């Protein structure tokens, strides 16, 4: 037998919405043999709070985006800050 990769049964998606629709109608259990473990890094201690002010419209937008992603607004802001900091590290 040749050492070729098995073609995935999971299709390529054009958008997150298309992927979400697929997984809404398919079981993960049917594809579990195609998943690979990933390393997840959790902060050991988030001990330093940062406060800043946002206008009501911006805060509403932030909350709406976070809700759509299924996370809290402070988690979303923390993710964005960390992503942005990473871009500066890569310069």
Q: What is the pLDDT of residues 16-61, one digit of tens each?
A: 999 999 999 999 999 999 888 888 887 777 778 889 999 999 999 9
* Helix (H) / strand (E) containing 56: helix 56-69
Task: Answer yes or no: is 7 within a domain.
Answer: no
Q: What is the pLDDT of residue 14?
A: 93
Q: How far apart, in whole angstroms, are the C-alpha atoms of residue 26 and residue 43?
A: 33
Task: Answer yes or no: is 35 within a domain.
Answer: no
Task: Answer yes or no: is 88 within a domain.
Answer: yes
Specify whether the CB–CB gap between 10 and 34 falls below 8 A: yes
Q: What is the pLDDT of residue 1?
A: 45
Range of the domain at 66: 52-91
Counting the structural domains of the chain, the total is 1
Confidence of residue 2 (pLDDT cuts 50, 70, 90): very low
């Amino acid at each position: 037998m040749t050492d070729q990769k098995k073609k995935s049964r999971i299709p390529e998606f054009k958008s997150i919405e298309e992927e979400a629709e697929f997984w809404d109608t398919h079981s993960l259990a049917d594809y579990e043999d195609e998943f690979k473990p990933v390393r997840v890094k959790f902060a050991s201690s988030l001990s330093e709070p940062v406060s800043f002010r946002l206008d009501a419209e911006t805060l509403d937008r932030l909350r709406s985006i976070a809700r759509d992603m299924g996370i809290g607004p402070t988690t979303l802001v923390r993710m964005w800050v960390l992503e942005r900091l990473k871009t500066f590290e890569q310069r």
